[in-house]
């Protein structure tokens, strides 16, 4: 049986049928996502890198319909979720990052381009599209720029303790304002 993520579908036909796609895929199906995750965890030592993460499940629920108030413009609504490995930017240790990406897209050609607040616009290069492209885009966009452990999780981040040795803090620019004011007052008028 062929993988439905890679089949090319016509959005207008799918919207006319009210097609619902519910599928359990794998992270490994999304090439760009795999590249990003692999580059992130490559910084970890070989013994701490997560194993078999490409087989982690992706839950997909996407429904095609016609966009409200727009005649003949197909839309996709739904949600994509996945667990991917990431490197915590506080402690630099691997952890599982939960991605939960809502999908609300209009599928338009340049001639159909519309401005609707509730939807993102996905401009179609041709009549057909692959579901994996939508899923991959949603997950990549849901990734945080600096992933960190959730509050309450065991993040072994480095904490800087107050090591007051009794020495006075040196403030090299502390007297700069008064020195500038003094210099400005001493400038002779020409």
The residue-averaged pLDDT of 7-31 equals 91
Handedness of CA 177, 182, 183, 188 (dihedral sign): positive
Q: Whole-structure pTM over 0.85, yes or no? A: no
How high is the mean pLDDT of the chain? 83
Q: Please state which of the ranges 4-18, 110-124, 159-173 shows the lowest mean pLDDT.
A: 159-173
Q: Give the total residue count for the chain.
A: 190
Q: 35 versus 108: which is more confidently predicted?
A: 35
Does residue 76 register a pLDDT over 80? yes
The residue-averaged pLDDT of 162-186 equals 72
CA distance 87 to 146: 9
From the list 8, 3, 138, the residue with the least C-alpha distance to 62 is 138
Does residue 69 register a pLDDT over 70? yes
Q: 4 versus 30: which is more confidently predicted?
A: 30
Contacts 24+ apart (CB under 8 A), 151-155: 153/95, 155/88, 155/90, 155/91, 155/93
What angle, 0 to 180 degrees and rounded to 10, lies between the N-to-C axes of helices 31-41 and 131-142?
30
CA distance 24 to 159: 40
What is the percent of the chain where pLDDT is above 90? 43
The residue-averaged pLDDT of 87-114 equals 83
Q: 154 versus 21: which is more confidently predicted?
A: 21
Q: Please state which of the ranges 37-41, 52-56, 105-109, 159-163 shows the lowest mean pLDDT.
A: 159-163
- The string of pLDDT tens digits covering residues 134-164 is 999 999 999 998 888 887 777 765 554 545 5
pLDDT at 166: 59
Cα 29 to chain center, whole Å?
17
């Amino acid at each position: 049986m062929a993988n439905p993520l890679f089949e090319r579908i016509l959005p207008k036909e799918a919207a006319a049928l009210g097609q619902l796609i519910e599928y359990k895929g794998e992270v490994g199906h999304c090439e760009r996502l795999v590249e990003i995750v692999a580059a992130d965890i490559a910084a970890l030592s070989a013994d701490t890198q997560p194993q078999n993460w490409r087989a982690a499940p992706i839950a997909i629920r996407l429904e095609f319909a016609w966009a409200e108030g727009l005649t003949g413009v197909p839309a996709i609504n739904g949600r994509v979720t996945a667990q991917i490995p990431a490197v915590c930017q506080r402690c630099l240790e691997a952890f599982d990052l939960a991605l939960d990406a809502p999908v609300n897209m209009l599928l338009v050609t340049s001639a159909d381009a519309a401005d609707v607040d509730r939807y993102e616009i996905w401009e179609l290069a041709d009549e057909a599209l692959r579901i994996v492209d939508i899923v991959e885009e949603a997950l990549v966009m849901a990734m945080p720029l600096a992933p960190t452990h959730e509050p309450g999780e065991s993040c072994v981040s480095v904490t800087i303790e107050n090591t007051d040795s009794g020495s006075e803090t040196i403030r090299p620019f502390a007297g700069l304002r008064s020195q500038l004011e003094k210099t400005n007052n001493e400038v002779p008028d020409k």
